[in-house]
Each structure stands twice: as C-alpha cells, then as structure tokens.
C-alpha cells in the first residue's frame, strides 16, 4: 500500500474519532469543560509520553545525524510558515495569523507519522513539535497580545513538550535502559494521543453552529493557507534536504501539512481574543485536512 493511500485511510480513521467526539458532546456525555480537561491531559501527559517514547532508542550516529537534519528542517519550515501567515493576515486577524502559522503537529502530526511512516519517523517529527511549541510561547504569544512582557522564559522551559524533549534526548544519548514496565506504560499513554486528540476536536466542532463554521470567509482563507499554500511552499524548500533523509523530509512535511493547531483556541481563551474564530479555524481545517494531506504527500512523491 503506497503512502498516499495509507495516509488517506488513516485520515478517515482519525475522522471517525472526531465524529465520536462530536456525538459524545451532542449527547452530553462530554461537556465543554470536560473537553478542556481532556485537552490538558493530552498536553501534560499523553503527548509528552509520545515524544519520550520516540527517543527510547539505542544511540547511533545515523539517528543523531537524522535528528540534526530534522531539527534544521523543522526550524526552516516553521520560519517559512510564520512569514507566509504574516504576509497574508497582518492587519486582519491575530488569531488567524497564529492559526495559519502553527499546525497541529503534536495531536495529529505525531499519530499520522507513526501510522504511515513508523516509529523512526516519530523520532524526527518530535523535533518539529518541540520547535513549534517554543515559537508558540514566544512569537505566538506576542502576535496574540502585542505585549513582549507576556513572553516568559519560565513558561518556555517548563512547557511539557520542552521537558519531554529534554528527557527524551537524555534517554537517547545516555546508555540507560528503562525497566520494561516503564516503557510499557509510556507506550500505552503514547498510543492514546491520536484517538483522544480527535475526540476532543470533535467536541470542539460540536460547539460551533454549522452555519457559522461554513460561512466565515476568513476561516476558509486560514484553512487554505494552512493546508495548501504553506505545505506546498514547504515541499519546495525540503528539496534542499540531502538524499538519504527521505524519512526526515516526509515527517517534516506531514507535520507542516497538518491542520490548524488546537493551541490557538487555548491561547485565544487565555488572552481574551476571538475564541470562536479560533475554534472554527481548528475544526474546518481539520475536516478539510482529510483530503489535503494525502494530496500534498502525493505531490511530494511526484516531485521528489
């Protein structure tokens, strides 16, 4: 089965999880506050476990070389996405500028990379997730608030993703083997990332009136920039990644092609910005990504 077909199949599975979350909210099994609590669980426990799991590997020069390449590619891809979102949304909407710049690489990118490219690729996409989170808590906070004093080094250092990356790198570099029970627990938590993330997004989707979701022109523009313009430009730039790092290329491209990150809704709520617009951007782009992500990967296969 080629990667485009496999990705489309996995996207359909993710969509089914999203539909489950939608139904659970409509049936009042999950409440708005409940979905928020699950989101916190994902951010503080499950996604860090997924990152740590990806680094529980025996050190090798080849893996280290791939890590450095993925880190550089991730930084370049994210700088490109921030530039594009600024050019499109400056003076229009800070929430859309944030949403278009930062994908849902953690909640959607990691499980899709794992299911389509394997565990080795998660090792590489973790770099993207770490860089993304650092930029969200610096550049992202600034464009939302326009206040440099809101940027806190303590928040960056204590961010669960930054902590899990540091822990994972220590496990990778040091000749330490964790007990099988511990690795089993970490693996089980990591496997919950995709299903729970999509169930939460389904609950978010259920909170938005369908009329509002499909009638906002800026929501469509944000989705187009996040799902098509930025991934295609990123695809072109990733040609610069040397041969022999094909898995790194695909992992970074999948992360860059993911829909609007759910953190934009969290940040909008924290800083009293357009929370409803943020939720619409997350939900509409997530629905469309079922089709756009396989298209982008198919184009990459044709060009590369």
Q: pLDDT tens digits, residue range 133-157? A: 889 888 988 888 887 777 777 877 8
Q: What does the pLDDT read at residue 148?
A: 78
Q: Which of 159, 154, 165, 191 is nearest to 266 (CA)?
A: 159
Q: How far is CA 85 from CA 92, 140, 143, 192, 227, in A?
A: 11, 12, 11, 31, 12
Nearest to 159 by CA among 3, 47, 11: 47
Q: Distance between CA atoms of 171 and 227, rounded to whole angstroms?
A: 34
Which residue do the tokens 């898995």 mark?
A: 247
Tens-digit pLDDT profile for residues 212-234 = 777 888 999 999 999 999 999 99
Residue whose tokens read 């464009």: 143
Model pLDDT, residue 68: 92
Strand partners, 103: 260
Q: Which two tokens stand for residue 92?
A: 């229009």
Q: What is the pTM of this model?
A: 0.86
Q: So what's the pLDDT on residue 277?
A: 87
Do residues 51 and 170 touch, judged by C-beta distance below 8 A? no
pLDDT at 255: 94
The model's pLDDT over 247-263, given as tens digits with 9 standing for 90+, comes to 999 999 999 999 998 78
Say what percent of the chain tops pLDDT 70: 100
Residue 1: what pLDDT?
Answer: 54
The per-residue pLDDT for 248 is 93
Q: Tokens 């999509």, residue?
A: 198
The CATH class, in words, for 3-299 is: mainly alpha
- Closest listed residue to residue 109, CA positions, set 222, 234, 24: 234
pLDDT of residue 256: 96
Phi, psi dihedral angles at 220 (to 5 degrees) = -65, -40
What is the Cα Rg of the chain in Å?
18
Quick check: 264 and 98 in contact, CB under 8 A?
yes
Which parts of the chain register pLDDT below 50?
A: none
Q: Where are the domains of the chain?
A: 3-299
């Amino acid at each position: 089965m080629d990667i485009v077909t496999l990705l489309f199949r996995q996207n359909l599975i993710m969509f089914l999880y999203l539909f489950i979350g939608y139904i659970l909210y409509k049936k009042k099994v999950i409440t708005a506050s409940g979905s928020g609590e699950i989101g916190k669980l994902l951010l503080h426990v499950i996604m860090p476990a997924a990152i740590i799991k990806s680094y529980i590997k025996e050190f090798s020069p080849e893996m280290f070389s791939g890590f450095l390449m993925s880190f550089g590619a991730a930084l370049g891809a994210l700088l490109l996405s921030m530039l594009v979102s600024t050019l499109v949304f400056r003076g229009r909407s800070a929430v859309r500028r944030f949403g278009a710049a930062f994908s849902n690489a953690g909640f959607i990118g990691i499980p899709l990379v794992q299911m389509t490219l394997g565990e080795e690729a998660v090792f590489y996409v973790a770099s993207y997730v770490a860089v993304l989170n650092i930029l969200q808590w610096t550049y992202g906070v600034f464009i939302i608030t326009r206040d440099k004093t809101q940027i806190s080094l303590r928040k960056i250092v204590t961010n669960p993703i930054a902590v899990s990356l540091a822990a994972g790198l220590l496990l990778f570099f040091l000749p330490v083997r964790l007990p099988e029970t511990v690795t089993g627990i970490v693996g089980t938590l990591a496997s919950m990332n995709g299903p729970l993330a999509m169930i939460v997004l389904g609950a978010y989707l259920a909170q938005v009136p369908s009329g509002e979701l499909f009638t906002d022109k800026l929501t469509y523009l944000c989705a187009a920039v996040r799902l098509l313009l930025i991934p295609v430009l990123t695809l072109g730039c990733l040609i610069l990644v040397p041969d022999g790092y094909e898995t790194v290329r695909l992992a970074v491209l999948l992360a860059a092609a993911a829909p609007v990150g759910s953190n934009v809704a969290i940040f909008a709520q924290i800083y009293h910005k357009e929370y409803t617009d943020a939720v619409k951007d997350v939900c509409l782009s997530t629905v469309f990504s079922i089709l756009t992500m396989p298209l982008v990967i198919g184009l990459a296969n044709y060009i590369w």
